[in-house]
Structure 1
Amino acid sequence: MLNSPPGPTLLGIDVIWAGTLLAAMAAMAVMFAIYTAVTIRDPMAKRVKSLNERREQLKSGIITQSAKKRTKIVRKTETTDKMRDTLASLKVLQASQVAQVQQKLAQAGIRKKELAVAVIFARMVLPIVFGVLSAVMIYGFNTFPEWGDMKKFALFASVTILAYKAPDLYINNIKSKRTNEVRKGLPDALDLLVICAEAGLTVDAAFNRVAKELGRAYPELGDEFALTAIELSFLGERRMAFENLAYRVDLEAVKGVTTTMIQTERYGTPLASALRVLSAEFRNERMMRAEEKAARLPAIMTVPLILFILPVLFIVILGPAACSITDAFAGGTPGHKN
């Protein structure tokens, strides 16, 4: 019984086997895309619980009226209490540091203020843990015997510094993504606020309406506007609700909107005209940012074009010819038997 002839190869790889593997991966990708398209969920559904908790806190009068005491409101848990006691005994816990971490968590969309203590505790523990592990692996087990002392120390220092910066890098990453999402939807939100103001709605009703309309397209912005509407309804000073919005969003445009709102509440200036001017400015800024990205696109696409697109194009064009030439030379070698 004669063996079946081998299939065509390219660079030592069986073309049929590689094609089968790529087809299986493509089928799995299509199934995943269909699953994600069918199981679309409301992005505001996860945020309803935190908004309801904030409403209940405001109803029960837990929130203090002083801005200085705002950062000290922390829900007590056993874990955070132990972390707080440990940090306090080591005298590394400062009120200003806790307030800064709490603001970063709020800007990242994390409402639990007690996690600030966990972040500070992680800054202290992670460098010790990963530093000890890396020292044992590098110096104890001599994992890299061919490396010099300078290289080993550089690796040890890099691991320790990265472990110290890891919590801040994670929070800053979430914060930047959330800020970009808020920036994208802010001009549309201001246009809707202008419409609501001209229709005669109050400020809190306008914020609530905009949050419902933009909740699906821009869930982060809808979350912030909904929380602002709740605070406008329950806080004793409406100015604090706008200050809390600027506190939670690290964006100069939002600070400008909150300043406009505070001045409107204080001096009775026309709200619709001021918001219309701000909306036009933010929309022009968004257009300029898009044009800037479009102008950088040819230079950015040069490297992917050379590394990924052109080799694939050459393989598609020259691959069949290379397979035919290889089969022709293999068939014409002396001593070859069919």
Structure 2
Amino acid sequence: MTFDDLLPTGWSAADLVFALAWIATFFAVVAIWVPLLERRPSSRRAAAIRQRRADLLTKAREPKGRGLGKQGIGFAKQVVQRLELLGSGQHEAAQLKMLRAGNRSKDAVVLFLFMKLAMPIILGSVTAILLYGTGLYPMPPMIKLVVSLTMILVGFYLPEIYARNAADKRKAVLSKAMPDAMDLLVISVEAGLNLDSALIRVARELRLSCPELADELELTAVELGFLQERREALRNLEIRTDLPSVTALVGTLAQAEKYGTPLAQSLRVLAAEMRTERLMKAEEKAAKLPATLTVPMVVFIMPALFIVLIGPGILRTVDALGNL
């Protein structure tokens, strides 16, 4: 069998070469022409950036689930709206407390304000029923009144205590993760990324180890792209976290934005200071450990030690006196 036998009927080798050349030319023209159809590639890139920012903004501002279901929120919202608490100074203070506690949901603010109204009534009513209605706790009338008023005050301050404890725990978590975030930020900036991209990259790396700090950095990166004043976005980060290390970071970034100082060098110095501060805090806790263990040793260890050492002598003395 020859090569001519493999060709279609009526085709010659020259016809086959011509057809292959035509097909190759067609695909070459298509490969060159298709990229040229995109007359404005910058518009496509800008659209991709806008979409990315919109996704980050939606994701960063999503309410974080903290057990706040939709059931019961409607009634709480109606009560708060009827009392006109959403437009007052209490609303702003409650919103700030919820932000520092790590909950950016509007329902969380409404529920916080509602609980400040409901908890004194609930605890006061339950205490009054137990003391005056059931008679299970016989007390003088003045003591009953004092206990009822005390429970009303406890109910009023209970949401405040909860929000403060949640904010303190979150501050401790953020404080532990800040030195690592600073090191990653230095590496990202020295690699050539701008501030927005560096924050997003650091947030991506910290997503598993510290999701709280990752959320804050992502939200800051989004606000840097949306707000007119970049200083305002940095200021919002400082307000939400309420950490001295974040305040120093915001000051460094604001100085770099305003005066054009080398950002990588400033961040490296700041990261070294944070590492040193964390080491000093660990040494301070280690130095306090002996004094902290003194009370448990005296209360729990010394009585057992005295019983082991002096107990046999006391028992022998009792037996000797009994024989006399």
Asked if structure 2 preserves the Cα contact closer than 8 Å seen for 1:122 and 1:167, the reply is yes
Shift in CA distance, 90/207, structure 1 to aligned 2, threshold 3 Å: closer
The corresponding residue for 1:257 is: 249
Asked if structure 1 preserves the Cα contact closer than 8 Å seen for 2:57 and 2:219, the reply is no
Q: Of the candidates 123, 144, 164, which is equivalent to residue 130 of structure 1?
A: 123
Please give the secondary structure, in 1, of the residue aligned with 2:106.
Answer: coil
Shift in CA distance, 252/55, structure 1 to aligned 2, threshold 3 Å: farther
Cα deviations by residue, 1:187-243 (Å, 9 ceiling, x for unpaired): 222122122212211112211222233333333222222332333344454333322
Which blocks of at least 5 consecutive residues in structure 2 are unaligned?
A: 1-50, 62-69, 316-324
Asked if structure 2 preserves the Cα contact closer than 8 Å seen for 1:264 and 1:270, the reply is yes
Cα deviations by residue, 1:313-337 (Å, 9 ceiling, x for unpaired): 789x79xx99xx9xxxxxxxxxxxx
Query: What aligned pairs does 1:272-311 form with structure 2 within 5 A after superposition?
Result: 272-309=264-301
Paired residues, number: 255
Q: Shift of residue 98 of structure 1? A: 0.6
CA–CA distance in 2 between the matches of 1:58 and 1:185? Answer: 23
Q: Shift of residue 92 of structure 1? A: 5.3
CA–CA distance in 2 between the matches of 1:207 and 1:95? Answer: 34
Shift in CA distance, 219/187, structure 1 to aligned 2, threshold 3 Å: same
Asked if structure 1 preserves the Cα contact closer than 8 Å seen for 2:56 and 2:218, the reply is no
Asked if structure 1 preserves the Cα contact closer than 8 Å seen for 2:102 and 2:167, the reply is yes
The corresponding residue for 1:27 is: none
Correspondence 1:151 to 2:117: no
Q: Shift of residue 258 of structure 1? A: 1.5
CA–CA distance in 1 between the matches of 2:52 and 2:130? Answer: 47
Cα deviations by residue, 1:237-281 (Å, 9 ceiling, x for unpaired): 433332221121111221221122123223322111222232233
CA–CA distance in 2 between the matches of 1:92 and 1:203? Answer: 38
Hey, which of these two has a bigger chunk of helix by percent? 2
CA–CA distance in 2 between the matches of 1:227 and 1:57? Answer: 7
CA–CA distance in 2 between the matches of 1:150 and 1:291? Answer: 51
The corresponding residue for 1:246 is: 238
Q: Of the candidates 174, 187, 196, which is equivalent to residue 188 of structure 2?
A: 196
Match for 1:220: what amino acid? Answer: E
User: What is the CA RMSD across the aligned residues, in angstroms?
Assistant: 3.4
- Matched residues, percent identical? 42
CA–CA distance in 1 between the matches of 2:202 and 2:85? Answer: 43
The corresponding residue for 1:223 is: 215
The corresponding residue for 2:322 is: none
Q: Shift of residue 131 of structure 1? A: 0.3
| Higher normalized contact order (CA 8 Å, seq sep 6+, divided by chain length) | 1
Larger Rg: 2
CA–CA distance in 1 between the matches of 2:77 and 2:53? Answer: 24
CA–CA distance in 2 between the matches of 1:79 and 1:188? Answer: 41
Correspondence 1:97 to 2:90: yes
